[in-house]
Each structure stands twice: as structure tokens, then as C-alpha cells.
Amino acid sequence: MAAKYYGVMMVNVQGLELLIVNLKNLKPLEHVKKDINLGDDVYQDQPVKYESVNKVSEALTGFVQILNDYGVDNYKLFGSSALHQAINSDFIADQLFLHTGLNIEWLSSSEETFYRNQNITTELRKDGVDDKQTVFLVGITSGNTAITEFNDGKFIGSTSFALGPIKIAEDLQSLRETAPNSIGLLNDYIDSKLNDFYIGNPASVVSNKVPTKIILLGSLPMQRLVENYNHSEVGETITAARFDDMVDDLVDASDQYLIERLQVEPDYIPLVLPELLLTRRILRLTNAVEIGFSDSGVVDGLVNQEALERGYSKLDFTSEIVRLALNLSEHYDVEPVHRDLVTKFCLHLFDQLKPLHQLGRHERLLLEIASILHDSGNYIGIHEHYLHSEYIILHSEIIGLSKDDIRVIAAIARYHSSTTPNEDLIHFQHISADSRRLIAKLAAILRLADALDDDRQQKIKKISVSIKETKVVITVFSNANLAYENWIFNTKSHFFTEAYGYNAVLKQRGVKAK
């Protein structure tokens, strides 16, 4: 079967999922789910049992057979960030490979949020929102909560918390044994975790109490619970006031009532109250007056990403990653004019040097993020600011980037100044050879771009690049005296020569007055 067909498999703490699609039109051929509870072990810091891993292997073997029946040979297996937290996750990956031949790619929580948001983001972009309404996409998984803000259909920002129904359920059990007002204490506990949402986020949810709406993503059990309680049709929204009443009614509801009257699956019973309480606190935090539901899942975004990589789709969401990096740079008071000019030069250099580095669109994104954040360390101190930049980036979360991506970006920022990777062997020992080469190539580009505006005077507004037999000629257009820029460029270009084997040469051309 043609390469336009693609299969994505996802294993998380609740089970497995298989989606087979036609990448040309993103229409599904097959969508299969298999429930296997792995969360009890993961969230009690116990190894996932061999019997459970064996069940996953058997299910994956069945998925591969389905893929073979359809003739699909382009497929991948992904693992959730929650499952990756299992203390024996490396052994799980090894056992799955031994039994199925599948290599698992672990996703970070920020990547899961990024992929989960994509379908609903497309709808918001296409339809817009009436009256410039603010909409929050809320993804609640077993161990993580992510909140993404849109205004008038435009992406504003996103943040996530290591807080989910399973963790809350454990704490609720402990509180009930020791505290008379366990629900009140639990609400305070949830609030303490969600209060970080205010930090670095748009002021609309803090000072301007404009009514908003939240859309719960991929929360099918909650959606069914609401529909059965409210006697509503599939896909209907529920008002915040009605949801509030429902939570009050169900706080002390018996398991039998939930199962018989509201048709709640027995496995979901322990998570009903934690998810209800968490959702209610998010409603109040965001000043939402309405809740909607979407079945968009991680696999949908992974499918779109594959379609984009193979040229079948133009739905590119990297602008949201860039927006988050810009938000982060603003939080750390990065000077915007220098930042934007260096980023512009970086991307131009990257595009023109592609015959030399042979890197793709993802590596271009990593360079762009690094250039946006390379001076963030000045917030801590100007002396050795590049080390502070590395620290800030390593300890930041940018939705859509993996932990490996963050490490690469942090290293590029570290080496944009004076120290080079080949001089810093101790720091580089934990990074693979491929990553070292990537970091060196991208850091060398950032060094050249930064050198062109080292004095922050913006004397150069435009550059052109040409590749000769043994050198790369960078022509800068400026009528200013560039003696300082030439000196800095010559100093910083030595590392470019080491990384690429080409000498970087700076030439100046005057600009005619208009």
C-alpha cells in the first residue's frame, strides 16, 4: 500500500490506541482502543507488573496484524510521559521491542499537550470565536493538566502542571483518613498547584473578568458523565453553573449510583470526584461560563505531524512553539530589537547554508528558539550570561518540544558566546555524538548572527550569503563604520570553520539612499 497510509500507536497508563489514516485527506481507516490499567503501579512508584506489560505486548501484536492486513508499513509506536515515569520504563521499552519488534518513542508532557491541541486549534483558526471570546483548551490526563489559551481564535499561551486525577485520588484517600473537611482541603491543595497559572500568563484571567469558555480535550468518561447527568445530546455544552450543581450533587454519591444511574465505568469511579473537583477549580480560575468537549487526542496530532513531514499537510503549528519562546523571552526581559534581528539573521544563514549542514525544518525551529532565548541569562547576570541562559532554558517548559530538544536548545545558547563544545568536553560527555554535531552546527550559525549586532546598534539590517569553494561569504548592507563588527566576526567565525570546514568571510556593501 502507498506511503500515504500511516499508522500511529500510543500506549499510556490507561491502555493502547491505534489510528490508521490516509495522510492525503487525514481520513481514518481504522481506530482501535484497548483498555489496560497501568496507572496503579506507576502512581504508587511501583514497577509495572510483568503481566501487565505482557498484555500490552499482546495488544500491540494485534495492532501490528491489523496494520499488516491493511498493507500499512509506515507506522510508529509512542509512549506517554506518564508511563515513561514508571521506574521500570526502560525495561518496558525493551520487553515491548523483544516481543513485537517495535521501538517506543517517549513523548514529554509538553509534546502531548501540543499534539492534543491541534485538531481543536484548527477549528478555532477556521471558525473564529464570536465577540473575541477567550477559550481555554484543558487537557486532563491521569497525571498532568495542560491549559492553553486562545483569544479570537488566536493562540496566546500554554502551561501545564504535574497534577491529574490519579494523584488527586491518592491524596483524597489520605485526607479522608485524617481530615474532617477533606473536600475543602483538597480544593485548597488543587488551588495551590493551579496558582502558578497566573504567573507569566495573559492578564485577562486575573484583572479583566471577561467571561470565557473551556473545552475539555479527550476526556470521554467525563463527557459521558455530564451527558448522562444533564440528559443532554452528544457534544452539547454545559454551563458552569449547572456543572457546579452537578459537582455538589456528586460529592457524596455512592459508587452504585454512579454506575447504575450515570453509567460510569467501574474503573473510572475512583477518578470521578478528583476530575470533577479539578475541573471546577479550573472553571473558577479561568472565569469560564461554559464547558465544551472535544475528542481530540494525542494520536490525531501525531498523524498531522507525519502528514506535515511528508508534504501532505500544510497545518503547521510551529508558530505556537515560537510564540511560547517569545513569551518566555519577554518574561526574562530579553531586549526585543537585538533578539529579533539576530533571529532574522540566524534563519537566513540556516536557509542559505543548507547545502552544507543538510538539516531540516525541525532543526531550523531549534535554532530559532535558541536565538530567541540566547540572551535570557542577562536576567540573572551579564557576567557569563550564556551559562545563565542555558540554566533558564533547561528549567523551562516550551509546549511542543521534547526534553532532548530543550537540552539541544540550551546547549546552543551556552555556546553562542565564547566557550566552544570542543573546549568543554566534560560538559559534553552526556550528549550523543549526533547531538554534539547538531549543536556545533547551529551554535556556529548563532555566533555569526550575534556577531553582526554585538554592540546592539543595529548597523546592519540586511545580509546575503554565498558559498564558494573554500569559504562562505556573508555580505552585509550598511553605510556605517563596521570596524567593531569585523573584529567580533573574525573572532567568532573560527568556530564556524571548525564546525563546517569553510572559512566565514564578511564583506560590506553600501546602501544607496532612497
Judgement on whether residues 255 and 284 belong to the same structural domain of the protein: yes
If you write DSSP's letter for every residue of 224-239 in order, what string do you get?
HHHHHHHT--TT--EE
Q: Minimal CA–CA distance to 298: which of 4, 13, 1?
A: 13
Determine the Cα–Cα distance for residues 97 and 394; give it in Å rounded to an integer.
30
CATH number of domain containing 72: 3.30.420.40
Determine the Cα–Cα distance for residues 336 and 10; give it in Å rounded to an integer.
40
User: 291 forms bridges with which residues in the sheet?
Assistant: 214, 238
pLDDT of residue 203: 38
CATH number of domain containing 171: 3.30.420.150
Judgement on whether residues 324 and 284 belong to the same structural domain of the protein: no
Sign of CA dihedral 171, 296, 63, 77: negative
Inter-residue contact 334 to 375 (CB < 8 Å): yes
Residue 295 lies in a domain: yes
User: 506 forms bridges with which residues in the sheet?
Assistant: 474
User: 122 forms bridges with which residues in the sheet?
Assistant: none
Residue 307 lies in a domain: no
| Total structural domains within the chain | 3
Judgement on whether residues 230 and 83 belong to the same structural domain of the protein: no
Q: What is the CA radius of gyration of the chain?
A: 26
Strand, coil or helix: what is 459? coil
Residue listed under C-alpha cell 490525531: 300
Query: Which pLDDT tens digits describe the chain residue by residue (514 residues)?
Result: 456 899 999 998 888 999 999 999 889 999 999 988 887 777 667 888 999 999 999 999 999 999 999 999 999 999 998 889 889 999 999 999 999 999 999 998 889 888 888 878 877 766 555 556 788 989 887 777 888 888 877 788 888 887 888 778 777 777 777 767 777 877 887 887 777 665 545 434 444 567 889 999 877 788 889 999 988 887 788 999 999 999 999 988 898 999 988 888 887 888 888 889 999 988 888 889 999 998 788 999 999 999 988 888 888 889 889 999 999 999 899 999 999 999 999 999 999 999 999 999 999 999 999 999 999 999 998 888 878 999 999 998 888 898 889 999 999 999 877 666 555 555 666 677 788 889 999 999 999 999 999 888 999 989 999 999 889 999 999 999 999 989 999 988 899 999 999 999 999 998 876 5
pLDDT of residue 368: 98
Judgement on whether residues 193 and 273 belong to the same structural domain of the protein: yes
Determine the Cα–Cα distance for residues 372 and 338; give it in Å rounded to an integer.
9
Report which DSSP code applies to 204. G
Judgement on whether residues 225 and 346 belong to the same structural domain of the protein: no
Judgement on whether residues 504 and 396 belong to the same structural domain of the protein: yes
CA angle 32, 33, 37 (to 5 degrees): 160
Residue 467, exposed/middle/buried by CB under 10 A (0-12, 13-18, 19+)? middle
Domain end marker among 107, 141, 167: 107
% helix / strand / coil in the chain, to the nearest 5?
55, 20, 30
User: Strands 134-140, 145-151: parallel, antiparallel or unpaired by DSSP?
Assistant: antiparallel
pLDDT of residue 200: 47
Domain end marker among 74, 107, 140: 107
Determine the Cα–Cα distance for residues 91 and 408; give it in Å rounded to an integer.
26
3-state secondary structure 467-480: ECCCEEEEEEECCC
Judgement on whether residues 58 and 120 belong to the same structural domain of the protein: no
Residue 157: its H or E element: strand 154-161
Judgement on whether residues 42 and 150 belong to the same structural domain of the protein: no
Q: Which amino acid is at 148?
A: T
Which pairs with CB-CB distance under 8 Å and at least 24 residues apart come from 206-209? 209/287
Domain end marker among 299, 326, 350: 299
Residue 499 lies in a domain: yes
CATH number of domain containing 444: 1.10.3210.10
Judgement on whether residues 30 and 123 belong to the same structural domain of the protein: no
Judgement on whether residues 442 and 383 belong to the same structural domain of the protein: yes
Q: Minimal CA–CA distance to 3: which of 459, 300, 307, 248?
A: 307
If you write DSSP's letter for every residue of 112-131 in order, what string do you get?
HHHHHHHHHHHHHHHH--GG
Residue 323 lies in a domain: yes
Determine the Cα–Cα distance for residues 10 and 76; give it in Å rounded to an integer.
9
Q: Minimal CA–CA distance to 159: which of 142, 144, 169, 178?
A: 144
Determine the Cα–Cα distance for residues 132 and 118; give it in Å rounded to an integer.
20
Residue 310 lies in a domain: no
Inter-residue contact 301 to 6 (CB < 8 Å): no
User: Strands 503-509, 154-161: parallel, antiparallel or unpaired by DSSP?
Assistant: unpaired
Residue 219 lies in a domain: yes
pLDDT of residue 29: 93
Q: Minimal CA–CA distance to 120: which of 317, 286, 320, 294?
A: 294
Residue 53 lies in a domain: yes
Alpha helices in 133-207 (DSSP H): 165-178, 182-194
Q: What are phi and psi of 159, to 5 degrees?
A: -150, 160
Judgement on whether residues 287 and 328 belong to the same structural domain of the protein: no
Judgement on whether residues 352 and 334 belong to the same structural domain of the protein: yes
Q: In whole angstroms, what separates CA 5 from the centre of its chain?
A: 25
Residue 333 lies in a domain: yes
Domain residue limits at 348? 317-509
